Amino acid sequence: MTVITHARRKSNLAKMIDSAGGISVGVALERARANIEAKRAEALAVVDGQISALEHMAAPTSLQDTAARLDEAYRAANAVIDAAAPFDLIDLCRAAMGLCDLIDAARPGQAFDWRIVTVHARSMRLLQSLPVEADEARAQVLDSLRLVADRKLAAPSQP
């Protein structure tokens, strides 16, 4: 196969990054963290709204409807990760990622066990309500979801 190599010209970003002025990395990060922290309340509201959307999402009524519903659930789980990730809500991210993995593994044209969405939504709600120090309870919730994922991903087809 033919390979054409284009020698890299120095990008504008490369030219400016070491130019005079600017700020120290320490200050940059401090400011970025403060700016993000200011969005915490909004982020928690977004997480809450997306979990609620998952909780109330109706199961598909036909095979034709399944793909669209799964896309909707996938987008909601993605939105949970987007909003929870910068605030170290790692457990919520893990639960949402597990749901994304399972939706991603759904076979086109086949029925999807909608209880997977319901269980993940309820688990996320539980994780959200558990106190920060309840490490054991959080681990249990995530372990249960992992079991669901292992069983479903190992199964030849759903449900």
List the structure tokens of 21: 């002025």
Rule CB under 8 A: say whether 44 interacts with other proteins: no
How many whole angstroms separate alpha carbon 77 and alpha carbon 81?
7
Q: Cβ(91)–Cβ(123) under 8 Å?
A: no
How many whole angstroms separate alpha carbon 24 and alpha carbon 86?
22
Q: Cβ(132)–Cβ(124) under 8 Å?
A: no
Site size toward other proteins (CB under 8 A) is 59
C-alpha dihedral, 62 to 68 to 70 to 76, nearest 10°: -140
Of 2 and 129, CB closest to other proteins: 2
Taking the complex as a whole, how short is the minimal distance between the CB of residue 95 and other proteins, in angstroms? 12
Between 52 and 91, how does the x/- string for binding to other proteins read (CB under 8 A)? Answer: ----------------------xx-xxx-xxxxxx-x-x-
Of 45 and 59, CB closest to other proteins: 45
Residues that bind other proteins (CB under 8 A): 1-14, 16-26, 28-36, 38-39, 42-43, 46, 74-75, 77-79, 81-86, 88, 90, 93, 96-97, 100-101, 104-105
